Chains A and B, each alone.
Chain A
Amino acid sequence: MDNKKSNTLRGLLFGAGFIAIAAFIFTGCPSQQRMLDTGDAAQKVYVAPGEHDEYYGFFSGGYSGQLSVWGLPSARFLKVIPVFSQDPETGYGYSEETKPLLKTSYGFIPWDDSHHPHISQTNGDADGRWIYINANNTPRIARIDLQTFETKEILELPNTGGNHASSFVTSNSEYVIGATRFSIPYEMDLDVPIDSYSDEFRGALSFIQLDPETGMMEMDFQILVPPYNYDLGRAGKGPSADWVFFTTYNTEEAHTLLEVNASRNDKDYVAAVNWKRAAELVRNGAGETMSAEYYHNYYEGNQGIAINDVKNQVTVLTPEDGQDFIYFLPTPKSPHGVDLDPTGEFIVAGGKLATVIPVHSFSRMLDAIENRRFEGHVENIPILDYDATIIGEVENPGLGPLHTEFDGRGYAYTSVYISSEIVKWSLETFEVVDRIDAYYSIGHLMITGGDTKNPDARYLVGLTKTAKDRYLPTGPKQNHPAQLYDISGDRMQLLLDFPTIGEPHYAQAIRADKVAPNVKQIYEMEENDHPHALRRVADNRIERDGDVVRVYMSSTRSHFRPDNIEGVRVGDTVYIHLTNLEQEWDVVHGIAIKGANNSEILVAPGQTKTIKWEPTRTGIYPFYCTAFCSALHQEMQGYIRVSAADSDVPLTWSTGGN
C-alpha cells in the first residue's frame, strides 16, 4: 500500500518534472529554434499542387549509394537516382545493360557509399549538364546525365583507399578530382606489414579530365603525396581557378587508433595544387607510367549495354624540387572541409578539433610562394608559413566546425558538428554575426546555387546526422534529417525539417530553369542503338544459340509481343530484350517472371532493357507488366512454358490469334 502510494507520488513528481523539462525544452530557448511565424514559414515553402519548385536539390545517399532528388523549397521528394547500389525498384544493377556499370577490378560490387554530388560548371557557374558523385568505399566517380537523370558512366580510381575528397569539378569542368582518404601502398596489390605505413604507404590525388562535349571522364594523372588522410577538396574560382585544394589530417601518419593518434599535431595541412601546372608537366613528359588495374564503365552510344573498358596503367607525378605545383598550408587542427568563397580569394578550412575557423588568403598564398616563405618541406612539397597565408581566424565558431558555404553577399555559413549549429560570419571582419541550431549534429550544409561564382543564396540546407525526436518515431534507427533555412535576410530562419534517404552528406541545389527545359520525356525510338532493340514490331522473335535463348519482345499498352512462348528448356539461359514501343512521356512498362532470381526491370518509353533468367524447374511461368500502365494493365501478361532439358518441344512464340 505504502509502496503504491509512494510510486504514485513518484510518478506525479516525475510527471511534473517531465512537464517542466518539456516546457523548458519547447519554450525555454525560443532564440535557438528561430522559426518564422508558422504561417509565414508554411507560405515560404508552399508550392501549390501542380506547380513546380524553384530549385532541384541533389542529396547524396551516403550508405544507400544513391543520389536523391528533391524540389526546393517545398522539399518534395522527386526521385532516387541509382548510382553505386543495385536498385530492384528500377532494375538498375540487375538488368544486363546496367550490371557492367557496377563492375570493378574487384569484381561486381552491388553497393557503395556516395558522398559529394557536384554539378558540372561553365565559367564558374553550375551548368546543369551532368552531376558527378563519388564512391567512398571502392573508389569510383560516377557521372549522371541530367537530361535523363540516369547514371551513364562510372570510373574506378586506382591506388586509392577511400575516395572521399571527391567529386568536385573545376570551374570550367576541365577536371573532376579524387583522393585517397586511407593511404595505402601505391604499388598494385603490395603485400606488406601494416606498420611499414610511413615507408610503404602513400596518398594519391587523382585528376580526371572531362570531355567538354560529353562529360566523359578519363584518368589523366595522379600526384603521389605523403601518407596522410586526404579528406575533402574544392576547386578554386576566378583568380584561383587553376588550383584545387585538399584538406589533410593524420599528418602524424598513424595507422591505428586514429581518433587519438591522428589528433596530436596542432596543425595539419591544406594541400594547394596548381592543376594546370601539373597537367603541363605531365604533357611535357614528367611523371611515370605505373601499372594499375581499374575499370571504366560507360555506354558507347545513345543507350545500349554498358561496357567495361579495363585500364592497366596510370600516369603518376611525384613532386620534385622546383616543380612548383603543390604546396602545404599549415591549418589547425585535423581540418575536414576546405571551401572557396565565390571570389576565389578565401580558402576556409573547417578544423574539427580547432577552436577557430582558419581563413587563408589565395593572394597571400601566391605572395608567400613568390617570396619562398617556407617553413620546410615534406617529400619535396614546400610547407608555407602559416602567418604568411592566414588572413583571419573566426573566433567562437562553436565546437567542431566542418564545412562552409557562401551567400555572395559577404557572408559565410559554417556547419558546426559538436555544438550542432550553423554560424554565419563576415568575410570582412571574420566575426560571427548569427547562429542557429541544427537538429542534430550537422555535417555538410549547402546553399542554393552554392559553390559557384554566383550563389543564388535564397535558402540553406543543413544535412544532419541524427533525427532522434524530430519526427514520429520509426524504431531505433531514424532516417537522417535535412533542414531548410531562409537566408535571404540578416538572420537565418528555420523553415522546414524533413527526413531524407540514406545518409545525405553533401548536396547541391541548382535553379530548376537550368535543368528542367533539357530533361528528356522519351527515348526516341529512331535513335535506339541498343544491339538487341526492336526496330519493327514485326521483328519480335526468339533465337536459340545452344543453351542461350534470346527473346526479342516489345511492350505497348497493354500487351507484350510475344506473350506465349514454348520450347524453353531447364538449363537454358534466357535473355528477354524488352523494347518499350511507347513514345509518350512517363508511360513505363516493366517485366517480372515468376521464380527469376533477379529483380523486375522497368523500361522507359523507347528504351530497351534485358532481364536474364535461368529457369531451373519445368512448368508454366507467368510474366507480367509491373508498372501500372493503362486501364488494361491487369491484362498485360504472358506465359512461358519450360520443358525438361532433353525435351524436343519446338521453340514457338505467338501473340493473339487464339
Chain B
Amino acid sequence: MNTYKHLLKSITLLLLIPVLYSCGGEESSEPRSTQPPVEEPALTEFELEHGIGPVTEPIEIGDIDPDLVTKGRNIYEMKCEMCHNYQGRMVGPELGNVMERRSPEFVMNFILNPSGMVREHPVGQELLREYMTAMPFQNVQKDEARAIVEYLRYYYEENN
C-alpha cells in the first residue's frame, strides 16, 4: 500500500518534470546551454528544412518585387547590417549568398525566432557553436522579414 503510494508520488513528480522544464526561458535570447537537450523534440520535415518559428508553411515566391526590395533594404540596413557582411563572416555569417544556402522560410524563421532557432534547431545550434553569439530579435514583423528575404534574393541575383 505504502509502496504503491510512493510509486504514485514518484510518477507524479516525474510527470511534473517536463512541465517545470518547459516553463520559463522561452523568451530568453541567451540559450541556457549550448548542449542539446537530453530529449531532443522531434522536428517535422518542414521545420528541419525551413526552421522553427511563425512561418509554418511554404511562402509564395515569384519575380523580384522592387517595392518589397526597397522596404527590405531599409530594414536590413537599420537592423541587420551591424552584424552581417555580404561577403565574409563578421559577428554572424555572411548573407550575400544566404538565399543560395537557405530557404526563404528558414531565413524568415531565423529573423523572427532567433532564440528558438539556436535553442531547438540543429542548424541554429551549430551556428551558435560556431559564432558564439546568439542572434537577437530585432523587433522585425513577419511582413518585414518577408521584405528582407526579397532584398537578399535581389542582392544575390544582382551579384552572382
> Per DSSP, are chain B's interface residues mostly helix, strand or loop, or mixed?
loop
Residue of B with least CB distance to A583: B139
B120 to chain A, nearest CB (A): 18
Contact with B78, one of A537, A561, A630 (Cβ below 8 angstroms): A537
Q: Does A581 sit at the interface, judged by CB under 8 A? A: yes
Let me know if A554 and B82 touch, CB within 8 A: yes
Interfacial residues of chain B within 89-108, with CB under 8 A of chain A in the complex: 90-91
- By beta carbon, the residue of chain A nearest B29 is A584
Would you call A25 an interface residue if the criterion is a C-beta within 8 Å of the partner chain's C-beta atoms? no
Binary flags per residue of B73-93, CB closer than 8 Å to A gives 1, else 0: 010011111110000001100
Please name the residue on chain A nearest to B84 by beta carbon: A537
* Chain A 575-619: CB-based contact to B (< 8 A → 1; otherwise 0): 000000111100100000000000000000010000000000000
Residue in B78, B83, B136 whose CB lies within 8 Å of A535 = B78
Chain A residues closer than 8 Å to B137, beta-carbon distance: 583-584
Distance from B31 Cβ to chain A, minimum over Cβ atoms (Å): 11
Q: Does B24 lie at the interface of the complex (its beta carbon under 8 Å from any beta carbon of A)?
A: yes
Asked whether any CB of chain B lies closer than 8 Å to the CB of A524, the reply is yes
Contact among A526, A556, A630 for B82, CB-based, below 8 A: A556
- Chain A residues with Cβ below 8 Å from B30 are 631
State whether B24 touches A556 (Cβ < 8 A).
Answer: no
**B82, B132, B136, B140: the one within 8 Å of A537 (CB):** B82
B133 CB contact (under 8 Å) in A525, A537, A561, A632:
A632
**Interface residue? A432 (CB, 8 A):** no
Q: Is A559 an interface residue when CB atoms closer than 8 A count as contact?
A: yes
Residues of B within 8 A of A632 (CB): 132-133
Residue of B nearest to A524 (CB): B139
Say whether A581 contacts B82, CB under 8 Å: yes
Give Cα distance in the complex from A524 to B138, angstroms.
10
Task: A178 to B90: give the CA distance in the assembly, Å.
Answer: 56
Q: Note all chain A residues with C-beta closer than 8 A to B83.
A: 556
Query: Contacts A537-B77, A581-B82; is A50 near B133 (CB within 8 Å)?
Result: no
Q: Is A557 an interface residue (CB 8 A)?
A: yes
A631: chain B residues at CB < 8 Å are: 30, 132-133
- Residues on B with C-beta less than 8 A from A606 are 139
Q: List 25 A-B contacts (CB under 8 A).
A: A536-B74, A536-B78, A537-B80, A537-B81, A537-B82, A538-B81, A554-B82, A556-B83, A556-B91, A557-B133, A561-B82, A581-B79, A581-B82, A582-B136, A583-B79, A583-B136, A583-B137, A583-B138, A583-B139, A583-B140, A584-B29, A606-B139, A631-B132, A632-B132, A632-B133
Question: Would you call A558 an interface residue if the criterion is a C-beta within 8 Å of the partner chain's C-beta atoms?
Answer: yes
- Which interface class (under 10, 10 to 19, 20 to 34, 35 or more) fits A? 20 to 34
Q: Are B91 and A559 in contact, with the CB atoms below 8 A?
A: yes
Give chain B residues whose Cβ lies under 8 Å from the Cβ of A556. 82-83, 91
Is A107 an interface position by the 8 A CB rule? no
In chain A, positions 3-54 with a C-beta closer than 8 Å to chain B are: 50
Q: Which 10 A-B pairs have the closest CB atoms?
A: A583-B139, A537-B81, A536-B77, A583-B138, A537-B82, A556-B82, A584-B136, A584-B137, A581-B82, A525-B78
Over the window 22-39 of chain B, the binary record of Cβ atoms lying under 8 Å from chain A Cβ atoms (1 yes, 0 no) is 001000011000000000
Q: Which of A535, A537, A559, A606 has the most CB of B within 10 A?
A: A537
The answer to whether A656 has its CB under 8 Å from any CB of chain B is yes
Binary interface encoding of chain A residues 555-568 relative to chain B, with 1 for a CB under 8 A from any of its CBs, else 0: 01111010000000
Residue of B nearest to A528 (CB): B78
Residues of chain A within 8 A of B77, CB atoms compared? 536-538
**Nearest chain A CB to B100's CB is how many angstroms away?**
23
A261 and B100 CA atoms in complex are apart in Å by 88
Measured between alpha carbons, how far is A318 from B52 in the docked complex, in Å? 71
Please indicate the chain A residues that have their CB under 8 angstroms from the CB of B79 in the complex. Answer: 525, 581, 583
Per-residue CB contact flags for chain A residues 515-558 toward chain B (1 = under 8 Å, else 0) read 00000001011100000000111100000000000000010111
Cα distance A522–B137 when bound, in Å? 12
User: From residue A331, how far is it (CB to closest CB) to chain B in Å?
Assistant: 55
C-alpha spacing A597/B118, complex, angstroms: 42
How many angstroms between the C-alpha atoms of A232 and B90 in the bound complex? 60
Question: Using Cβ atoms and an 8 Å threshold, which residues of chain A touch B80?
Answer: 537
Closest to A605 in B: B139
- The interface residues of chain A lying within 8 Å CB-to-CB of B90 are 656
Complexed CA–CA distance, A630 and B78 (Å): 20
Bound form: Cα–Cα A535–B78 in Å: 6
Q: Which residues of A contact B138 (CB under 8 A)?
A: 582-584
Chain A residue at smallest Cβ distance from B85? A656
Q: Knowing A557-B136, A584-B136, A584-B138 are in contact, say whether A536-B81 is a contact too (CB < 8 A).
A: yes
Chain A residues with Cβ under 8 A from B29's Cβ? 584, 587
Which residues of the partner chain B approach A583 to less than 8 Å between Cβ atoms?
A: 79, 136-140
B46 vs chain A, min Cβ distance (A): 27
Closest to A536 in B: B77
Which A residues touch B140, using CB under 8 A? 583
Q: Which residues of A contact B74 (CB under 8 A)?
A: 536
Q: How far is the CA of A535 from the CA of B30 in the complex (A)?
A: 26
Q: Which residues B24-63 have CB closer than 8 A to chain A?
A: 24, 29-30
Whole-angstrom CA separation of A50 from B137 in the bound complex: 22
Instruction: Give B131 Cβ to nearest chain A Cβ, in Å.
Output: 10
Q: Tell me whether A50 and B24 are in contact (CB under 8 A).
A: yes
Kindly state the separation between the CA atoms of A582 and B80 in the bound complex, as whole angstroms.
Answer: 10
Give Cα A55–Cα B108 distance, bound, in whole angstroms: 39
**Cα distance, A606 to B29, chains bound together (Å):** 17
Query: Could you say which of B24, B78, B83, B132 has the most chain A C-beta atoms within 10 Å of its C-beta?
Result: B78
Give the complex CA separation of A537 and B83 in angstroms.
10
Whether B82 and A587, one on each chain, are in contact in the complex, defined by CB atoms closer than 8 angstroms, is no
Distance between Cα atoms of A522 and B78 in the complex (Å): 15
When C-beta atoms are compared, the residue in chain A nearest to B138 turns out to be A583
Cα A581 to Cα B81 with chains together (Å): 10
Distance of A555 from chain B, by nearest CB (Å): 9
In the bound complex, what is the Cα–Cα distance between A584 and B134 (angstroms)? 12
CA distance A522 to B29 in the complex (A): 15
Residue of B80, B90, B138 ringed by the most chain A CB atoms within 10 A: B138
Q: A535-B78, A537-B81 are in contact. List 13 more A-B contacts (CB 8 A).
A: A50-B24, A536-B74, A536-B81, A538-B77, A538-B81, A556-B83, A556-B91, A582-B136, A583-B79, A583-B139, A584-B136, A587-B29, A606-B139
Shortest Cβ distance from residue B21 to the other chain A in the assembled complex, whole angstroms? 15
Give the residue name and chain of the B residue nearest to A630 (CB).
B133
CA A526 to CA B139, docked complex, whole Å:
10
Complex CA gap A537/B80 in Å reads 8
Chain B proximity of A381: nearest CB distance (Å): 57
